[in-house]
Amino acid sequence: MKKFLLATIFFTIISIGFSTPSFAVTPTPTAEPLPINNTPCDGTVYPPNSTCYDKVENVENLGINPVDSNEALLSYPLSCISAPSITYRETFVGNISSPLGLPVLRNVTINTDVSAAQLGFLGPDSTTLNNTNPDKIAQKYLFNALFDRPGADPEAPRESFRTYWRMLDSLSQAQLKAYFIEKTTNHTFYYVGQDKKQHEVKVDTAWKNKLPVCLKTFGLEVNNFIIDCWKNGRYYDQYTKLGQDNPQVQEEYDALLPFNFDNARGYISSGLNVSEENIPYLKAIISGLKGDKTSLSSTPGLFDFYTPSWTNKNIAKYPTTPNEIFQYPLILLIAANPQLNDNCLTPTDGSSLSSPKTYPNNPTTTQNVVVSATPQLVSSTPDQCVCRDPNSYYCYAYYRCNSYSNNETSCNSSGGCNFIKGQNVYELTGTAVGKPITVFNNPYVTTLTDLVIGGKPLFPNASKFPLTETARQIINFVSDKILNPVQPSFYKMLLPDSASESASPKKLVSAPSVSTSATSEITSATVTVDGADTINRESNLAQDAMHLLQNCWLVPSDQQVSAKCGRKVTVPVGECALSAEPLTGSCSKDSFAQYAVGLTSPLTSFIPLVTSELSAVYAEAERETGVSCVILAAIHSMEAGNNACQSLISGRKIGDPEPDNGGATYSTLLETAIAAGEEFAGKLAFARGRLQNDLGRNPTGFEALTTAFSFYNGGGNSNCLSNPPASNYGSCPPLFKGEDDPYPLSRFDQRHATMYLRCLKDNDCSSAVLFTRPGAFSVALNYYNSLP
Amino acid sequence: MLRKTKIFLLIGSVILLVLIVIFITRSLSSKTGIQPEPVIPESQIGTTSILNQSSPDIAFKTKQVLLPKLPIYLYNFKTSSGIATDISISSYKNDSPETIRIEIFGPDYLYNQTDPGTNPNMIAFKESFEKVISILVENNVNIKDLHISMGNKKYIRDIAEEWIKTLNLLP
């Protein structure tokens, strides 16, 4: 009953959030990657957009974890950079009279450099932000899953708008921003405006002066005037007036993400030195979920709106210290004894995503290992007594040097012979394993996991012990209700208990990248290093669990597109005949790879909705015609919006005559897919020849496919054709045949962002009309990128 | 009385025709794909075309003569109007056994003018079509013996056929 009430409240809030006009639109963070100058900033920055990194000021104390789920004993959960394995190889030349029989010990120095360390999860780096479909970003990164949104792209699929921030009512949004602006003195952020260009905004005194008082002053305790801002809706009046007086500043204000983007602290230590890491996104997500509550002020988080206040306790804060150097002795002590670190001894799966760097200081460390190298005889040369002049027959005949081969003294005193000592050549080989390097993860990672799937009970493995059920219940009651009250979490609020237990196996994050090298005291020796190339971080569970919640639990089975949902999607097709025989295949991205070489995500983020049944139809048509199922999915998207009841040829209902095909009728979707595929195969072959003729070389996959799509649609909408002209399309002449056609390339990139149909309507080509849908290639590439 | 009846019948027929045209136009505009808009009214499906004059039997036999030589592609064919065209003569596996595809890319079939004196695309089409006829003749085929499809888009087929008629391109 309690869960039902909470869920009801949750969905009520969602519906209110969506039905209330949005007060402040949160735009995409950035359009272009900005150069990082590897220096700390004075103010807070939004991690992927910064030109510098945020310096951590208050650091959570290292010690016994008194706060969160008791999975970790230490406040900083431990993981590690795995121990490096080295292989030693040396060629050794030894005296034949004293052969090597036992292993030889060699000293090797291992150097580890973590200066290129990345976070590996939680949020994307700027390159990923700009090159990846926003829906995919939201599926992968927790920050984007909860708070970001895919810019101002009207074509973006609804699924990519996972920003729970927009569910807050306008009052809460305004209060959060006012609090943030009031506390912020030097902050620069970037956003993409309505003009689709990147803008820089400095939150400083000059910018604040442009804002009306209610939008920049939170302090409820300051005076009655401020309170009136919130009570009487004055903030909204001032916001509206700002839009009339200074729309540019209103747009900048809208773009502000009022989360705590302070970095958090993490450490990497070999036991000899300590590197301080700067962990982005973590505090932003937690402050977004739980607000920012101190004894003096309080701003809400999403959970304040999802749950009744009596269930939503503040997160426990870890005590902090500004003098983190006092933590070093304990860090060094723990790191020097990696056997204490369970997360390092037990191999675990890892995952990693492109993400911002963490800029560790003191990034290099060394360790010495001793290799026991085993000798293996490669060749042996015996002692020899030879003529000093090897070409002298007299020497050979007179001195008979050979007879002195076993007697160095006689040989050398013979007058004409020289003694050459015999040699053994060995290959010394051996392996050794260094020490792992300990990673101290910020304690709020555990808090984050708890907020998503709920905290672990104090005695999670109670079933291993001979306790009665009553005893286990008592222990866990003490844990959950008294010692470590279970916080509301997405899973606890929305899903049955079993969901959080089977949410997802915990995976460490294998963040790039560690550079490890090794050298020997023997300069001619070769030492290779294996392993120790990633930083294992604690942990990806929150991110994985949120992915399952958003993409599997909360999505009807026929619309699930995530492979992680773990079951085949089935969809009733009603009266639509897909094929004469049941189909079981599915569309694989392999056949499209040749066309995607060198391409990133298109401008549009639209991904066609391809159910498993449709996927099977496209795959079968690919088998019949040789045309990639990804291309067929894109054609079906263009012609019929991937409606299973409508043909690939012209989007007409299956069974109706197809004027484009001379009035032919088809009884199944597969038949139309095969006909379309056959048609397209012909156009593709023709396009390749045409381009080769034009370009004097083999066309690229991109060129050939673009031209083929244009031929397939007749090419009549090529925007560089005149009379009627295609209005304001400004990229003529085309780079190659069909490159100016919206059918393939609409919304593929900035060059094709604005394209036109050349006729206004039937029988009226007096003016062009803006074409707002993505083209077939744009759709195909997004579908390709979405396939596993 | 008879005269009034005739007038009513005439008016009724015109209204009926207008309604049919509106209905066809609306049903076409509801499609989701990019459909370059036809410039001339859509002709009835199944209407005998000037490009399907021969009997199916002759068309089938003629196609068998040509089939081993297909596809025939001619790129960048220069026309006197300055428009270069690409010509494809082909047949796909599942096409009807009598039909040959003749596609001429390059002319703008949506061009607003239908007078060959002012529409260079018609000139480009004319010369390209004549080139097709000569290619067929070289292969011992008379175009009038074939059943021809001028492409996979109805608006192109309709306009192409209109131009063939207007310019009297068939021998």
- Does A662 contact B149 at a Cβ distance shorter than 8 Å? yes
Instruction: Name the residue facing A639 among B33, B45, B99 (closest C-beta).
Output: B33
Predicted pLDDT at A294: 63
* Dihedral sign (CA A749, A751, A755, A758): negative
Instruction: State which residue of chain A sits closest to B72, comparing Cα positions.
Output: A686
| Torsion angle (degrees, nearest 10) of CA A753, A754, A760, A765 | -110
Measured between beta carbons, the chain A residues lying within 8 angstroms of B149 are 662
Structural domain contains residue A438: no
**What DSSP line would sit under A478-520, residue for residue?**
IIIIIISPPPP-HHHHHS-HHHHHSS----EEEES--EEEEEE
Residue the block writes with tokens 């997802």: A504
Indicate the burial class of B148 (C-beta count within 10 angstroms; 0-12, 13-18, 19 or more).
buried
Could you give the 3-state DSSP secondary structure of residue A682? helix
CA-based nearest distance B2→chain A, Å: 37
Structural domain contains residue A604: yes
Which range of A47-56, A632-641, B111-120 scores highest in mean pLDDT? It is: A632-641
Measured between beta carbons, the chain B residues lying within 8 angstroms of A724 are 110, 112
- Mutation for testing the B interface, residue in A646, A690, A736, A762 having most B CBs under 10 Å: A762
Query: pLDDT tens for residues A583-628?
Result: 888 899 889 999 988 888 888 888 888 888 899 999 999 998 999 9
Domain count, chain A: 1
CA Rg, chain A, in Å? 34
Q: Is A565 on the interface with B (CB under 8 A)?
A: no
CA-based nearest distance B160→chain A, Å: 12
> What is the pLDDT averaged over residues A59-70?
76
Q: Is A771 on the interface with B (CB under 8 A)?
A: yes
Structural domain contains residue A603: yes
Indicate the average pLDDT of chain B.
Answer: 76
Alpha-carbon gap, residue A585 to A608, rounded angstroms: 18
- Does A764 contact B37 at a Cβ distance shorter than 8 Å? yes
Q: Three-state SS string across A27-78, please?
A: CCCCCCCCCCCCCEECCCECHHHCCCEECCCCEECCCECCCCCCCCCECCCE
- Nearest Cα residue to A639 out of A572, A713, A715, A705: A713
- Nearest Cα residue to A404 out of A394, A396, A412: A412
Give yes or no for a contact between A504 and A495, defined as CB atoms under 8 angstroms apart. Answer: no
Structural domain contains residue A718: yes
CB proximity list for A94: less than 8 A, separation 6 or greater: A100, A423, A424, A425, A426
CA-based nearest distance B73→chain A, Å: 7
Structural domain contains residue A399: no
Alpha-carbon gap, residue B66 to B68, rounded angstroms: 6
CA-based nearest distance A776→chain B, Å: 10
Give yes or no for a contact between B101 and B88, defined as CB atoms under 8 angstroms apart. Answer: yes
Q: Is A686 on the interface with B (CB under 8 A)?
A: yes
Query: pLDDT tens for residues A346-389?
Result: 656 677 788 888 888 889 999 999 999 999 888 888 888 888 88
Structural domain contains residue A95: no
CA-based nearest distance A309→chain B, Å: 49
Structural domain contains residue A198: no
**What DSSP line would sit under B71-134, residue for residue?**
-EEEEEEE-TTS-EEEEEEE--TTS-TTEEEEEEESS-TT-S---TTT-HHHHHHHHHHHHHHH
Alpha-carbon gap, residue A632 to A262, rounded angstroms: 47
Task: Please report which confidence band the pLDDT of residue B15 belongs to, taking 50, 70 and 90 as the band edges.
Answer: low
Q: Indicate the helix (H) or strand (E) that contains A171.
A: helix A170-183
CB proximity list for A381: less than 8 A, separation 6 or greater: A96, A422, A423, A424
Instruction: Name the residue facing B37 among A682, A763, A773 (closest C-beta).
Output: A763
Q: From chain B, which residues contact A within 8 Å (Cβ)?
A: 25, 28-29, 31-39, 41-42, 45-46, 71, 73, 75-76, 86, 88, 90, 92-94, 96, 99, 101, 105, 108-113, 149, 151-156
Alpha-carbon gap, residue B41 to B44, rounded angstroms: 9
Query: Which residue type sits at A330?
Result: L
Alpha-carbon gap, residue A499 to A534, rounded angstroms: 31
- Does A716 contact B75 at a Cβ distance shorter than 8 Å? no
Instruction: Name the residue facing A721 among B37, B75, B108 (closest C-beta).
Output: B108
Q: Which residue has the higher pLDDT, B63 or A223?
A: B63
Residue A607: alpha-carbon gap to chain centroid:
19
Relative to beta strand A53-54, strand A40-41 is parallel
Query: pLDDT tens for residues A459-485?
Result: 554 445 566 777 767 776 766 666 555
Query: Which residue type sits at A772?
Result: T
> What is the pLDDT averaged over residues A283-311?
72
Q: Is A577 on the interface with B (CB under 8 A)?
A: no
Predicted pLDDT at A10: 36
- Does A661 contact B36 at a Cβ distance shorter than 8 Å? no
Q: Is A641 on the interface with B (CB under 8 A)?
A: yes
User: Number of A:B CB contacts under 8 A?
Assistant: 122
- Nearest Cα residue to A370 out of A92, A86, A106, A112: A106
Measured between beta carbons, the chain A residues lying within 8 angstroms of B104 are none
Alpha-carbon gap, residue A17 to A534, rounded angstroms: 41
- Mutation for testing the A interface, residue in B21, B104, B105, B125 having most A CBs under 10 Å: B105
CB proximity list for B21: less than 8 A, separation 6 or greater: B41
Predicted pLDDT at A474: 76
Predicted pLDDT at A175: 81
Measured between beta carbons, the chain A residues lying within 8 angstroms of B73 are 686, 689-690
- Does A716 contact B76 at a Cβ distance shorter than 8 Å? no
The structure's pTM equals 0.55
- Nearest Cα residue to A677 out of A710, A716, A629: A629
End-to-end CA distance of chain A: 39
Q: Give residue A687's domain range.
A: 589-786
CA-based nearest distance A672→chain B, Å: 11
Measured between beta carbons, the chain A residues lying within 8 angstroms of B33 are 638-640, 650-651, 713
CB proximity list for A591: less than 8 A, separation 6 or greater: A622, A628, A629, A630
- Mutation for testing the B interface, residue in A639, A674, A721, A723 having most B CBs under 10 Å: A723
Instruction: Name the residue facing A638 among B33, B101, B155 (closest C-beta).
Output: B33
Alpha-carbon gap, residue A648 to A357, rounded angstroms: 46
- Mutation for testing the A interface, residue in B21, B22, B26, B35 having most A CBs under 10 Å: B35
pLDDT at A8 over 50: no
Q: What are the contacts of A148-153 at 24+ separation with CB within 8 A?
A: A148/A26, A148/A28, A148/A29, A149/A26, A149/A27, A149/A28, A150/A28, A150/A605, A151/A27, A151/A28, A151/A192, A152/A27, A152/A28, A152/A192, A152/A193, A152/A194, A152/A196, A153/A603, A153/A604, A153/A605
Alpha-carbon gap, residue A261 to A281, rounded angstroms: 6
Residue the block writes with tokens 């009250």: A485
Measured between beta carbons, the chain A residues lying within 8 angstroms of B92 are 678-679, 681-682
- Partner B, chain A 709-738, Cβ-Cβ below 8 Å: 711-717, 721-724
Query: Which residue type sits at A87?
Result: T
Residue the block writes with tokens 């004993």: A73
- Does B156 contact A712 at a Cβ distance shorter than 8 Å? no
pLDDT at A165 over 70: no
pLDDT at A151 over 90: no
Relative to beta strand B84-90, strand B72-78 is antiparallel
Which strands sit side by side in the sheet containing A437-440, from one edge to the other? A78-81, A437-440, A264-269, A274-279
> What is the pLDDT averaged over residues A551-570?
67
- Which phi and psi angles does A182 have, rounded to 5°? -60, -40
Structural domain contains residue A778: yes
CB proximity list for A13: less than 8 A, separation 6 or greater: A167, A305, A306
Could you give the 3-state DSSP secondary structure of residue A349? coil
pLDDT at A157 over 60: no
Could you give the 3-state DSSP secondary structure of residue A102? coil
Instruction: State which residue of chain B sits closest to A671, comparing Cα positions.
Output: B94
Alpha-carbon gap, residue A529 to B74, rounded angstroms: 59
Q: Which residue has the higher pLDDT, B118 or A343?
A: B118
Tell me, what DSSP letter sits at residue A449? H
